[in-house]
A and B are shown apart, each in its own frame.
Chain A
Amino acid sequence: MRGYALLLFLSAVLFFPAVAAAAGISVDAGLTPAQDRWILRTQVRYMSRGDKNSTEVQQLVFPVVLAYGVRSSVTIVARQVLIRRERTVLGNSSTKSGFGDTYVFAKIKAYRSNSPRLTFGVAPTLGIEFPTGQSGFSSNTWDLRAGLYASARTGTWSSDANVAYQWNDVVSDASATPGDELSIDAAVAYQFILDGVGLVTASPVLEMSYLKVWPVRNAGEEVPHTGESVLYLSPGAKLSTSWIIAEGLVRIPVHDDLAGNQLERNVQTLLGVRILF
């Protein structure tokens, strides 16, 4: 029984970095910000995985993201994550905190169209996740991530879509390598003007996120009880002013296809603030 619980716990820990990477996308993902603009984004994310045998892993994740518009067509973004993890195995709990890996990427404006009725933009991204995290919170691998983002805005309606692929462990020659990750996200929001002139707005948001994680490979063989695909449906809300945006999201796993025995994902909550300088 203890071995089974330990196996479930290990599988959950292996995949939490992937969960942290699959962020809510209620942002202008395909629209690069203005030149010389700084944007600071921080969130509190609560997530957990568990089973019916009182084995559970809970995480509070605090990502801090700093973006800067180097040019109107190029944005550099850096993200650092602080993680607080509590694990419960057969009634025994322990808590540990630490910094996760640093992720740096560039977003490049590929296409942008602004008309009186529609704004549309497409922006690819390319980035590297460095194994800078503390023991137990780092993937210990150099990971390459490429994405393609698209956004459309009509003033009242807005929608985003993105697809991203992460090649894990692109430089080491270790025999055990984490599986690659594919994420596909889509979001739609409607903007209500609260003050009559457009300086304060509120937006209900609905997001859909699909995440596929391939199994860990060891000496070319797939490691059992690793790899999964999950589909989240996420209702939320966003409140925007000229320099600050507050957002909240509840991520509901509507489909979770786990390979072998793994802890099941529970509902996640996400609260965030973006400060626009």
Chain B
Amino acid sequence: MRYLYEGIFVAGLLLVIGCESSIQDSNQEVFDSNKGEIRIYEVFGMDCPGCHGGLENLVLKIPAVLRAQANWKEQRLVVTVKTGAILDDELVYDAIRKANFTAGKRIQ
């Protein structure tokens, strides 16, 4: 049973770290919203908090992107463009497809 308790402890510890990180991510979005051009896209197919990361990683690979923040509840992807850079929307749509989601309209 010792292994079971150790497993519970490790799972609990990782979860606390995970929650902390999520809250920090949320605050980061507000902080960065004053930097660069902000674009907002509708994204369908995200249904849980864990869905965000794969899409954000792919969008962040686009050279013109400074920051990417997805939210499954709002079905939105917020992209911050680097100052002076030109972002082709098609690159964002391609990242959404590679994440196995479907792009809706660009809201902003």
The answer on A and B forming one complex is: yes
4 additional contacts (CB under 8 A) given A199-B25, A240-B50, A276-B54: A46-B4, A119-B44, A241-B19, A273-B15
Q: Chain A: how many interface residues by the 8 Å CB criterion?
A: 49
Confirm or deny: A251 has a beta carbon within 8 angstroms of a beta carbon on chain B.
Answer: no
Question: Which 5 A-B pairs rank lowest in CB-CB distance, beginning with the nearest?
Answer: A34-B54, A114-B45, A198-B73, A244-B18, A44-B7
Interface string of A182-201 (1 = CB under 8 A from B): 00000000010101011111
Confirm or deny: A88 has a beta carbon within 8 angstroms of a beta carbon on chain B.
Answer: no
The answer on a CB contact under 8 Å between B72 and A155 is yes
Interface string of A35-62 (1 = CB under 8 A from B): 1110000001010000000000000100
Interface string of B75-103 (1 = CB under 8 A from A): 10000000000000000000001111110
Q: How far is the CB of B104 from chain A (nearest CB, A)?
A: 8
Interface string of B15-44 (1 = CB under 8 A from A): 101110111011000000000000000001
Given the interface pairs A60-B3, A273-B10, the reply to whether A241 lies near B54 with Cβ below 8 Å is no
A193 to B74 Cα, complex, angstroms: 12
Residues of chain B contacted by A276 (CB below 8 angstroms): 50, 53-54
A116 to B19 Cα, complex, angstroms: 27
The answer on a CB contact under 8 Å between B73 and A271 is no
A243 to B23 Cα, complex, angstroms: 12
The answer on a CB contact under 8 Å between A37 and B57 is yes
Q: How far is the CB of A163 from chain B (nearest CB, A)?
A: 22
The answer on a CB contact under 8 Å between B15 and A239 is yes
Interface residues of B, dominant DSSP: helix
A72 to B26 Cα, complex, angstroms: 27
A36 to B100 Cα, complex, angstroms: 12
The 23 listed contacts between A and B (C-beta, < 8 Å) are A28-B48, A32-B100, A34-B58, A34-B99, A35-B98, A46-B4, A115-B102, A153-B47, A195-B26, A197-B26, A197-B73, A200-B49, A201-B48, A242-B21, A242-B22, A242-B52, A243-B18, A243-B21, A243-B22, A246-B11, A269-B4, A273-B15, A277-B53
A198 to B48 Cα, complex, angstroms: 8
Residues of chain A contacted by B17 (CB below 8 angstroms): 244
Confirm or deny: A112 has a beta carbon within 8 angstroms of a beta carbon on chain B.
Answer: yes
Confirm or deny: A76 has a beta carbon within 8 angstroms of a beta carbon on chain B.
Answer: no
Residues of chain A contacted by B18 (CB below 8 angstroms): 241-244, 246
Residues of chain B contacted by A239 (CB below 8 angstroms): 15
Residues of chain B contacted by A269 (CB below 8 angstroms): 4
Q: Which of A114, A115, A155, A275 has the most C-beta atoms of chain B within 10 angstroms of its own C-beta?
A: A114
Q: How far is the CB of A68 from chain B (nearest CB, A)?
A: 11
Contacting residues of chain A (260-277) with chain B, CB-CB under 8 angstroms:
269, 271-277
Q: How far is the CB of A239 from chain B (nearest CB, A)?
A: 6
Confirm or deny: B8 has a beta carbon within 8 angstroms of a beta carbon on chain A.
Answer: yes
Residues of chain A contacted by B7 (CB below 8 angstroms): 44, 271
